[in-house]
């Protein structure tokens, strides 16, 4: 009786799995140490150096792949935003909650900006998120909801720096957050009274959770 042939997973599927694992490991390792080498990333990913170079011929190619990945994640997060279709404080809370899950990629890009990507490439990747935030802030300033003593672009830069600082604190183990506390801090920094900011974020976060449950 002939034995049944062994069914093997397609090589292409294995290659995709290896590539995804390498990228995930690279995000983690470069987030801890922007100077991490491809050899160190390969070792952390549990693959040989040759496997990394099979997907990424050098550090520049790996970093560019991370930039593309971040760009896609940020664009997807921004695409779900209603913009000026809802009150600005709710729109800003929703924006922060959407960006927070991809915050590590956002943070990593800035860490690699000078050495690898260049600020022009980083700005290109981040521009959809920055533009969306600027629209929300300008709308809120016109409505008298946010501080208007700074131009929207300057206020946006300050709030972005705040978000990055909060991300760094989470990564350093100084505190824990699922994005809601950072959203409250962002609203308060933008000029929303604290109690109102808390109520807005709680309401928006509940809606986001419900939307996620419906999609699931």
Domain boundaries along the sequence of the chain: 10-57, 58-215
pLDDT in tens, the chain (216 residues): 444 444 444 546 677 888 999 999 998 888 888 889 999 999 999 998 899 999 999 999 999 999 898 888 888 888 877 767 899 999 999 999 998 988 877 777 777 877 888 888 888 888 888 999 999 999 999 999 999 999 999 999 999 999 888 988 887 789 899 999 999 999 999 999 999 999 999 999 999 888 766 655
The DSSP-derived string for 91-126 is HHHHHHHHHGGGHHHHHHHHHHIIIII-HHHHHHHH
| Gap between the Cα atoms of 159 and 114, Å rounded | 21
| Domain 58-215 class in CATH | mainly alpha
For domain 10-57, give its CATH number from 1.20.144, 1.10.760, 3.30.70, 1.10.10: 1.10.10
C-alpha angle 203-166-177 in degrees, rounded to nearest 5: 45
């Amino acid at each position: 009786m002939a034995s049944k042939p062994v069914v093997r997973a397609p090589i292409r599927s294995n290659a995709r799995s290896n590539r995804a694992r390498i990228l995930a490991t690279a995000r983690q390792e470069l987030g801890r140490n922007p100077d991490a080498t491809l050899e160190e990333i390969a070792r952390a990913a549990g693959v040989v150096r040759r496997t990394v170079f099979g997907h990424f011929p050098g550090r520049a190619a790996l970093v560019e792949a991370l930039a593309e990945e971040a760009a896609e994640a940020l664009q997807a997060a921004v695409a779900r935003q209603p913009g000026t279709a809802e009150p600005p404080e709710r729109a800003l809370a929703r924006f922060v909650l959407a960006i927070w899950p991809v915050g590590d990629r956002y943070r990593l890009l800035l860490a690699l900006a000078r050495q690898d990507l260049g600020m022009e490439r980083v700005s290109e990747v981040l521009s959809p998120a920055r533009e969306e935030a600027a629209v929300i802030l300008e709308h809120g300033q016109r409505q008298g909801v946010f501080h208007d003593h700074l131009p929207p672009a300057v206020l946006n830069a300050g709030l972005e720096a705040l978000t990055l600082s909060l991300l760094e604190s989470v990564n350093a183990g100084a505190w824990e957050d699922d994005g809601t506390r950072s959203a409250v801090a962002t609203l308060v920094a933008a000029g929303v009274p604290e109690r109102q900011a808390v109520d807005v974020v709680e309401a928006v976060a509940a809606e986001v959770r419900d939307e996620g449950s419906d999609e699931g």
